[in-house]
Amino acid sequence: MLKANYHTHTKLCNHAEGMPEDYIKEAISLGFKELGMSDHGPVPREFMSEEEYLNNWIQRNMTLEEYYSIYLPALDEAISKYGSKIKIYKGLEVEYIPGHEEYYIGLKANLDYLNLGIHYFLSDGIEKNSYDDVNYKTIYDYADIAIKGMETGIYNCLVHPDLFYFNYKNEEGKQVFDKHCIKVSHMICETASRLGIYLEVNANGLANSLKYGHKDEWLYPRKEFWEIAKTYPNLRIIIGADAHKIKNLYSADVKAVEEFAHKLGLKVEDYMKI
Ligand SMILES: [Zn+2]
Ligand SMILES: [Zn+2]
């Protein structure tokens, strides 16, 4: 039974519903002890070309202006209203673009934690999309960004670390969890384990897998990845709802992921130490 969730979106990202207060009320009624809000963070337009910006759907994210004038005040208001009933953490889900460390540190100055989500990654000088552009070569660029991001010490958790498999293509253009996937899984788990950064088993992967025609097979959370993760005894693992709807805070998919982790024998922590 889930007691906390640290991956929660709001309507400010333009592909989710609700504001912090809506999720907090739901979390209280579910008996959660902690809730972390972590909507998709703003990305300044000048960080990449227009093509990269659009290819990676960043136009949907909240703007810097909305971050300061809407998101942070909504969190503070929710904390003053509900803070005695549930522990509320202020966070964001952001990327890692090398060279912009100061920017992420600046965002974190107003927050309790940052989730690192690699929705795009620098490869051959271009920000490539993790849902479209991962193959037996570019998978190492995905891993490189994940590892360098974790090594900055800015982030608390790498969410959906196994997203690289979403549309992965091997040398023959087939989707197989091959030696490259295995190697990258070890690289990510070793780094997270060494640095004490949480890896998240992401419940939104089920809906995303289904949306792309994979009925019985989850693209992520990916069993092969988490079997490797299990071999790192000190690795910190958390389950994340990645809720884009209020009802998804503790949905059938979250329960299925709890069952998945339990069956695999993963040592999942109830709370993220922030
Ligand atoms: Zn999202
Ligand atoms: Zn998310």
Measured in Å, residue 160 CA sits from the centre of ligand 2 at 8
Residue 37 contacts residue 10 (beta carbons within 8 Å): yes
Measured in Å, residue 92 CA sits from the centre of ligand 1 at 11
Q: pLDDT digits over 112-124, tens only?
A: 999 999 999 999 9
* Nearest-angstrom CA–CA distance, 48 and 237: 32
* Nearest-angstrom CA–CA distance, 274 and 267: 18
Q: What is the pLDDT of residue 217?
A: 85
Rg (CA), the chain: 18
Instruction: List the chain domain ranges.
Output: 4-264
Q: pLDDT digits over 129-143, tens only?
A: 999 999 999 999 999
Split the chain (274 residues) into runs of 10 and give each run's mean pLDDT. 96 97 98 98 96 94 97 98 98 98 98 98 97 97 98 98 97 97 98 98 90 82 97 98 98 96 97 97
Measured in Å, residue 172 CA sits from the centre of ligand 2 at 31
Q: What is the pLDDT of residue 210?
A: 80
User: Which of the ligands is closest to the CA of residue 11?
Assistant: 1
User: Which of the ligands is closest to the CA of residue 160?
Assistant: 2
Q: CA separation (Å) from 256 to 127, 128, 168, 230? A: 33, 31, 24, 18
User: Which of the ligands is closest to the CA of residue 163?
Assistant: 2
Measured in Å, residue 226 CA sits from the centre of ligand 2 at 19
Question: What is the fold, at CATH topology level, of the domain defined by 4-264?
Answer: TIM Barrel (3.20.20)
Measured in Å, residue 188 CA sits from the centre of ligand 2 at 19
Measured in Å, residue 261 CA sits from the centre of ligand 1 at 22
* Nearest-angstrom CA–CA distance, 99 and 131: 23
Measured in Å, residue 9 CA sits from the centre of ligand 1 at 7
Q: What is the pLDDT of residue 1?
A: 85
User: Which of the ligands is closest to the CA of residue 10?
Assistant: 1
Query: Which residues have beta carbons under 5 A from ligand 2 (an ion)?
Result: 93, 242
